[in-house]
Structure 1
Amino acid sequence: MKILNKEVGNYGEDLSKNYLVENGYLIIEENFSCTFGEIDIIALHDKYLCFIEVKTRYTTKFGFPLESITRAKQRKIIKTAEYFICKNKLFKHFCRFDALEVIFTDKSNFPKINHIKNAFS
């Protein structure tokens, strides 16, 4: 089951990257990790440096993907983003923390992608 979850997650991230590019985002980093944590996608959009958490589910039976981004996970993402900014000297950008929900349903061959801008701060 864990292998299937990883494959579904990877597929969701690929769909998310395509969605972001189609909507004018410039992806500058994928799966950035350091000792503080990991960020799925880092992208530039307008004047924002966006740190994007992707959550993919094949059912909402146990809740929506966004609900799985706990306060502890948010803190890890924020710390990781701070490290990324310092490491790359990207101080001039405004920052935003987004979430992308990718939900597969039995009713459609196409997943629903829900982009939540400023999902947390």
Structure 2
Amino acid sequence: MKSFKKSLGYHGESLALDYIIQKGYELIETNFSCGIGEIDIIAKDGDYVCFIEVKSRYGDNVCTALESITYRKMHKIYLTAEFYIQKKKLYKDTFRFDVIEVLFNHNNLHKITLIKDAFRL
């Protein structure tokens, strides 16, 4: 089961990456990780540097992407983003936290939903 979830996650992240590039985002980095946590995608959308969490789900009986991101997870993403900002010296930029939901169904089709400015801390 764990390998299915992992491969579903990788596939979802790949689709999400293609999706945001089609939407005009400029890719900065994928899978940034440090001792605090990981950010799936970091990209530029106009004037914003976006820290993007990708949530991939399979089937019909699942909670939404936002429902699955707990306050603790949001805080971890925020701290990781803060570390990234300091490491890259991005003090003059404007930031946003986006979430991309990739839903797969039983026919191997998918639906992608982008939620801009999904949360703030």
Partners of 1:92 and 1:110 in 2: CA distance:
41
8 Å contact from structure 2 (residues 65, 99) kept in 1: no
Aligned to 1:27: 27
Counterpart check, 1:46 vs 2:46:
yes
Aligned to 1:118: 117
CA separation of 1:11 and 1:82: change in aligned 2, threshold 3 A: same
Aligned to 2:76: 76
Partners of 2:91 and 2:35 in 1: CA distance:
21
Name the stretch that deviates more: 73-82 or 55-64.
55-64
Would you identify which runs of 4 or more consecutive aligned residues in structure 1 move more than 3 Å? none
SS in 1 for 2:61: coil
| Deviation for aligned residue 1:85 | 0.5
Partners of 2:70 and 2:118 in 1: CA distance:
11
What's the TM-score, normalizing by structure 2? Answer: 0.95
| Deviation for aligned residue 1:66 | 2.4
What's the TM-score, normalizing by structure 1? Answer: 0.95
Gaps of 5+ in 2: none
Partners of 1:65 and 1:51 in 2: CA distance:
15
Counterpart check, 1:59 vs 2:68:
no
Partners of 1:68 and 1:60 in 2: CA distance:
15
| Deviation for aligned residue 1:110 | 2.9
Aligned to 1:104: 104
Name the stretch that deviates more: 88-97 or 62-71.
62-71
Aligned partner letter, 2:115: I
Between the aligned residues of both structures, percent identity stands at: 51
Gaps of 5+ in 1: none
